């Protein structure tokens, strides 16, 4: 124990469907898949599991071969025989262990996520897996499953956390029953393995923690973590993202997330938060997803969230009756050998870093982040301003509305020259063109005025940053423009 912060920047990798085997082993050797995880910058995996795998012998004792043969997945079974032959005659539980061992061997942390009880695709209101007492969700059996898994992986240092249950939901959900069973489950895990983080989800598909007192009256030795999920479709917002001004929707959903989820990180007894699912259709064809993700990335950078992207895997052996279904939210493509969208991986670069460390002695300053491109603002040696990979970025100080944005370590500040012209840095930090305001309902546009008093905003034009007329600064209800190109976030950091 060093007392230093470790930031989880994870990918979800599924092992809870009917085969009970982690996806993709028919496509590539297990070590190669784990290597690709690391190469994309992920330091952990949220690895899903189904309760029945560990509580029912007729599930857990099936060999991989038997599991695939019983489901008539001949092609996938042959792919496993080719790429991972040593796994074929292991039981599905033994194979799960092998995956955890390989992740640990490559330095990847593991969050064991109880995703469902009866192996199947998740989630719907009436799938029988949604809440304690549902057809396939016996609460005592669930406790037994947590017990078995906590014991099995007690001596695996790469296993850093257990998530008690994914997306509690459905008509049976109730707060009294939630408190009853979550407290029992949390204590069960902690008593068996006190080193583990115990991750607790709320209600309504992991979108609501607002009813929870932060302590839960549990003594988990400072190991309690809450989790939340956030997608474009969360809380029925998908049509809003598609049809309304994205600045307005971004502001609305950020406030909802603050009120229902992120509030646990504030106040007298703050608790860490793990955003264990977010994601987008990486083909770029879903307008709601495209707009949502820029908003999410800005929020995640500002709050320095710990997170797990849905998803890593590029396809499924069997999902909802379809063989070989492609996972369009997946980082990997259907063949598991290339990233589906390399530009998206780049956009994650900044939020993969620790940006705020409570042990740092450095002062807070800011990184200027453009979430639509995933780039950061850099002033080079010739004092030229450009957008670059966030590995290279300048640091800025900012005192609030109508004050300069100063380049740290210099006497220079950000200055507008005129409409449609590149922004500059200057030692003239007293003029109106050097005073900046954060505007728009989402607080994602940086505005100043030109010599004529016209309001101008930073705007990305390829790798050049211009000042142009602000898009939708007021009356966003009627505005038809999409201001994402002008979204810049001053992200606080106390890291170099």
Average pLDDT over residues 110-117: 98
Average pLDDT over residues 217-233: 93
- What are 277-302's pLDDT values in tens digits? 999 999 999 999 999 999 999 999 99
Whether 223 and 345 map to the same domain: the answer is yes
Question: CA nearest 27: which of 317, 318, 336, 325?
Answer: 336
Whether 330 and 455 map to the same domain: the answer is no
CB atoms within 10 A of CB 254: 22
In a domain, 1, yes or no: no
Name the helix (H) or strand (E) containing 9.
Answer: strand 9-13
pLDDT at 475 over 80: no
Average pLDDT over residues 209-235: 90
Whether 68 and 175 map to the same domain: the answer is yes
Token duo for residue 110: 């593991």
Whether 269 and 308 map to the same domain: the answer is yes
Whether 320 and 422 map to the same domain: the answer is no
Interhelix angle 287-303/246-260, nearest 10 degrees: 50
Question: CA nearest 273: which of 224, 222, 205?
Answer: 224
Of the candidate ranges 25-39, 93-107, 201-215, 310-324, the one whose mean pLDDT is the lowest: 201-215
Query: Coil, helix or strand for 32?
Result: helix
Name the helix (H) or strand (E) containing 397.
Answer: strand 395-398
CATH number, residue 419 = 2.80.10.50
In a domain, 3, yes or no: no
In a domain, 4, yes or no: no
Q: How do strand 489-493 and strand 365-370 relate by DSSP bridges? A: antiparallel
Query: Coil, helix or strand for 295?
Result: helix
Tell me which DSSP letter residue 63 carries.
Answer: B
Final residue in a domain of this structure, among 297, 317, 352? 352
Report the pLDDT value the prediction gives residue 28, as an integer from 0 to 100. Answer: 98
Report the pLDDT value the prediction gives residue 472, as an integer from 0 to 100. Answer: 83
Whether 399 and 467 map to the same domain: the answer is yes
Whether 370 and 336 map to the same domain: the answer is no
Greatest mean pLDDT range, 145-149, 245-249, 269-273: 145-149
pLDDT at 251 over 90: yes
Whether 314 and 227 map to the same domain: the answer is yes
431 or 3, which is more confident?
431
In a domain, 359, yes or no: no
pLDDT at 216 over 80: no
In a domain, 160, yes or no: yes
Final residue in a domain of this structure, among 330, 352, 374? 352
Which residues form the domain of 444?
Answer: 365-493
Number of independent structural domains in the chain:
2
Report the pLDDT value the prediction gives residue 387, as an integer from 0 to 100. Answer: 95
- Cα dist from 18 to 99, 139, 177, whole Å: 17, 21, 28
Report the pLDDT value the prediction gives residue 478, as an integer from 0 to 100. Answer: 65
What long-range pairs does 332-336 form, CB within 8 A, spacing at least 24?
332/24, 332/36, 335/27, 336/24, 336/27, 336/28, 336/33
- Cα dist from 209 to 204, 244, 293, whole Å: 9, 27, 22
CATH number, residue 57 = 3.20.20.80
Final residue in a domain of this structure, among 291, 322, 352? 352
Whether 275 and 374 map to the same domain: the answer is no
In a domain, 272, yes or no: yes
pLDDT at 317 over 90: yes
In a domain, 360, yes or no: no
- What are 115-138's pLDDT values in tens digits? 999 999 999 999 999 999 999 999
In a domain, 450, yes or no: yes
- What are 151-190's pLDDT values in tens digits? 999 999 999 999 999 999 999 999 999 999 999 999 999 9
Whether 421 and 475 map to the same domain: the answer is yes
SS3 content of the chain, % helix, strand, coil (to 5): 30, 25, 45
Whether 334 and 445 map to the same domain: the answer is no
Token duo for residue 249: 């929707």
pLDDT at 400 over 60: yes
Whether 404 and 474 map to the same domain: the answer is yes
CB 62 within 8 Å of CB 373 = no
């Amino acid at each position: 124990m060093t007392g230093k912060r470790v930031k989880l920047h994870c990918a979800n990798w599924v092992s809870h469907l009917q085969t009970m085997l982690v996806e993709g082993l028919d496509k590539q050797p297990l070590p190669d898949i784990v290597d690709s995880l690391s190469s994309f910058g992920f330091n952990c995996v949220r690895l899903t599991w189904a309760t029945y795998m560990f509580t029912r012998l007729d599930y857990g004792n099936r060999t991989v071969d038997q599991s695939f043969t019983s489901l008539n997945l001949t092609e996938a079974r042959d792919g496993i025989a080719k790429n991972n032959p040593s796994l074929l005659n292991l039981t599905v539980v033994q194979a799960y262990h092998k995956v955890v061992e390989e992740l640990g061997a490559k330095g990847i942390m593991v969050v064991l996520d109880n995703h469902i009880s009866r192996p199947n695709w998740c989630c719907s209101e009436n799938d029988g897996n949604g809440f304690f007492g549902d057809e396939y969700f016996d609460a005592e059996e669930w406790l037994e499953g947590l017990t078995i898994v906590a014991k099995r992986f007690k001596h695996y240092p790469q296993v850093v956390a257990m998530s008690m249950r994914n997306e509690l939901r459905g008509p049976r959900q109730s707060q009294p029953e939630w408190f009853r069973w979550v407290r029992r489950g949390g204590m069960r895990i902690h008593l068996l393995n006190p080193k583990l983080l115990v991750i607790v989800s709320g209600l309504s598909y992991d979108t609501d923690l607002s009813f929870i007192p932060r302590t839960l009256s549990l003594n988990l030795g400072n190991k309690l973590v809450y989790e939340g999920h956030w997608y474009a479709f969360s809380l029925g917002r998908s049509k809003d993202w598609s049809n309304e001004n994205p600045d307005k929707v971004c502001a609305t959903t950020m406030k909802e997330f603050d009120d229902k989820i992120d509030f646990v990180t504030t106040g007298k007894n703050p608790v860490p938060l793990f955003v264990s699912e977010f994601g987008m259709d990486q083909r770029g064809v879903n307008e709601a997803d495209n707009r949502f993700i820029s908003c999410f990335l800005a929020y995640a950078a500002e709050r320095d969230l710990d997170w797990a992207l849905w998803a890593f895997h590029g396809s499924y052996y069997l999902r909802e009756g379809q063989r070989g279904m492609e996972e369009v939210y997946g980082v990997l493509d259907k063949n598991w050998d290339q990233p589906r969208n390399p530009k998206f991986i780049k956009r994650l670069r900044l939020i993969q870093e620790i940006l705020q460390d409570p042990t740092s002695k450095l002062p807070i300053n800011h990184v200027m982040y453009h979430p639509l491109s995933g780039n950061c603002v850099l002033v080079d040696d010739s004092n030229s301003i450009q957008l670059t990979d966030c590995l290279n970025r300048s640091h800025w100080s900012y005192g609030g509305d109508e004050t300069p944005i100063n380049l740290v370590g210099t006497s220079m500040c950000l200055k507008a020259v005129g409409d449609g012209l590149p922004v500059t840095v200057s030692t003239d930090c007293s003029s109106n063109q050097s005073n900046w305001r954060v505007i728009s309902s989402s607080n994602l546009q940086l505005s100043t005025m030109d010599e004529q008093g016209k309001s101008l905003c930073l705007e990305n034009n390829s790798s050049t940053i211009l000042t142009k007329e602000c898009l939708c600064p007021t009356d966003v209800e009627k505005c038809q423009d999409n201001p994402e190109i002008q979204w810049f976030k001053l992200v606080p950091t106390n890291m170099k």
